[in-house]
Amino acid sequence: MLSKIRSLQQVGVIGINCRNGDFIERYNPRRLFPLVDDKVRTKQLAMAAGIAVPELYDTIETPHDIRKVEQLRDRYTDFVIKPAQGSGGDGILVVTGHSGKNFRRHNGLLVTPEEVSHYLSNILSGQYSLGGHPDKAMVEYRVVNDPIFDDVAYQGIPDIRIIVFQGYPVMAMIRLPTRQSQGKANLHQGAIGVGIDLGSGRTLGGVHGNSVIANHPDTGSSIRDLEIPEWDRLLTLAARCFELSGLGYLGVDIVLDRNQGPLILELNARPGLNIQIANGTGLRHRLRAVEECDSADDVTRRVAFSRRRFAVQAPPMADELLQPAV
């Protein structure tokens, strides 16, 4: 057991106690938590800062608002309903169309307006929110999958999680939905986590549950060496969320939309630790490297630092990146 602890320390794996005590408690002021715990507020903040997010169609805040559901069905063909303070992808309803007066979900099943109303009232009474506080439901643009993910995403939208520490991206992974996760991009529910090389934006190996895998269990396609498009833009987007939220230790969830490119889905003040398994390495050494460097205000320099310092494979244009961008 001791040798196990030692080898974990060597790789720099941090546990929950360390994440909570040494990073969240120290770098994330509690008063800022509501900004990221309430996705409506996060969205408003992001829009004010000119950061792209899925468009907010409407919010449902009182039981009286629930009747808006019928109008939504008529106004938008497809949309997503989610609890504003939900976590871990719980309680998200993806509507891809309708059939008569019923809604069609992303997996093809039909739900009646009554079922949707009940689901909305559960959201309002706080079933999905942290601590069971009363919540509101938000209706937003449904992200359309970027074609590069067609082979590796089963009935859902993969999302890219980037850990941003003091404004520096330190680790990234892409979460691929599976049949087991029922289209959700949540590792606890059976989604695949695939590490991404910060330098090149190419995927490394992946994990499903606790085992290391190379192919998607449902589609059979390889999950290695996929290139995430517009990687530099993605990292910049994530790094800017530090100024946006004020949180020093932050998980940024980004989706790639076929038409609109990278969109910030949500921010997380307590990002999970499975990203370490997906990347096959620990966070500690990278976090320490950031703690030791002189913090920079300039986002492009921070991104360049991260791409250079935390690259696993040689970045494609390494020489270029070493020059400080203007």
Partner 1 sequence: MSTRLHTGLLALALTVIGLALFAYKLHLGIPLSEDDASDVWTVEARVTFTPRPDRSVKATLQLPDRMPGYAILNENFVSRGYGLNTQRNGGREAVWAIRRARGPQALYYRVAVYPDETDRDETAPAFPPRPDLEEPYATALQELVAEVRQQSADIDSFAGEMLRRLNDNSPDQYVDLFLDDVRTENDKLRTAQNLLAGARIPSRIVHGIYIVDDNREATVVPWLEVWTGQEWSYYDPDTGEKFVPDNYLVWWRGDKPLLDVPDASDEQVVFAVRKNLIDSIEVAERRASLRESHVLEFSLFGLPVRTQTVYTVLLLVPVGAFIMVLLRNVVGIRTFGTFTPVLIALAFRETRLLSGVLLFTIVVALGLAIRFYLEKLRLLMVPRQASVLIVVVLLLAAISIISGRLGIETGLSVALFPMVILTMVIERMSVVWEERGASNAIVEGIGSLIVAIVAYLVMSMDSVAYLTFAFPELLLVLLAATLLLGRYTGYRLTELARFNALSGGK
Instruction: Determine the size of the site formed for partner 1 (CB under 8 A).
Output: 36
- Our finding on whether 238 is near partner 1 (CB under 8 A) is no
Contacts of 292 (CB under 8 A, 6+ apart): none
| Sequence-ordered list of residues with C-beta below 8 angstroms from that of 224, at least 6 positions apart, any chain | 203, 204, 205, 206, 214
Residue 317 CA to residue 299 CA, distance in Å, equals: 19
CB 277, min distance to partner 1, A: 6
Q: Whole-number minimum distance, CB 4 to partner 1, in Å?
A: 5
Q: Does the footprint of partner 1 cover residue 102 (CB under 8 A)?
A: no
- Residue choice 72, 237, 239, 277 for contact with partner 1 (CB under 8 A): 277
Other C-beta atoms closer than 10 Å to the C-beta of 84 total 21
Q: Does 230 bind partner 1 (CB under 8 A)?
A: no
Q: Measured from the CB of residue 310, what is the shortest distance to partner 1 in angstroms?
A: 17
Q: What residues from 36 to 95 belong to the interface with partner 1 (CB under 8 A)? A: 90-91
Shortest Cβ 136–partner 1 spacing (Å): 14
In the region spanning residues 279 to 308, those forming contacts with partner 1, defined by CB under 8 A, are 280-282
Q: Please, which residues bridge with residue 86 across strands?
A: 129
* 1 makes contact with partner 1 (CB under 8 A): yes
127 contacts partner 1 (rule: CB under 8 A): yes
Per-residue string for binding with partner 1, 172-211, x by CB under 8 A?
A: ----------------xx-----------------x--xx
Nearer to partner 1 (CB atom), residue 18 or residue 47: 18
Kindly tell me the sign of the dihedral angle through the C-alpha atoms of 194, 198, 203, 204: negative
Strands (E), the chain: 56-60, 79-83, 93-99, 102-105, 110-111, 137-140, 159-165, 168-176, 192-196, 203-208, 211-213, 249-257, 261-268
Q: Are 215 and 178 in contact (CB under 8 A)?
A: no
Stretch that binds partner 1, among 17-25, 53-61, 164-172, 214-222 (CB under 8 A): 17-25
Joined together, the tokens standing for residue 255 give 């989706």
Q: What's the rounded Cα separation, in Å, for the pair 92 and 73?
A: 16
Candidate ranges 5-13, 36-44, 73-81, 233-241; the one touching partner 1 (CB under 8 A):
5-13
Query: Residue 268 Cβ, how far from partner 1 at the closest point, in Å?
Result: 17
Cα torsion angle, 145, 146, 149, 151, sign? positive
Query: If binding is defined by CB under 8 A, does position 215 make contact with partner 1?
Result: no
Q: Which residues pair with 139 in a beta bridge?
A: 58, 81
Nearby residues of 298 by Cβ (< 8 Å), 6 or more positions away: none
Q: Supply the minimum distance, in Å, between the C-beta of residue 48 and partner 1.
A: 32
- Tell me how far apart the 2 most distant CA atoms of the chain are, in Å: 62
Q: At closest approach, how far in Å is the CB of 267 from partner 1?
A: 21
Please tell me whether residue 125 binds partner 1 under the rule CB under 8 A.
Answer: yes
User: Footprint of partner 1 on this chain (CB under 8 A)?
Assistant: 1, 3-5, 7-8, 11, 13, 15-18, 21-22, 90-91, 114-115, 118, 121-122, 125-128, 188-189, 207, 210-212, 276-277, 280-282
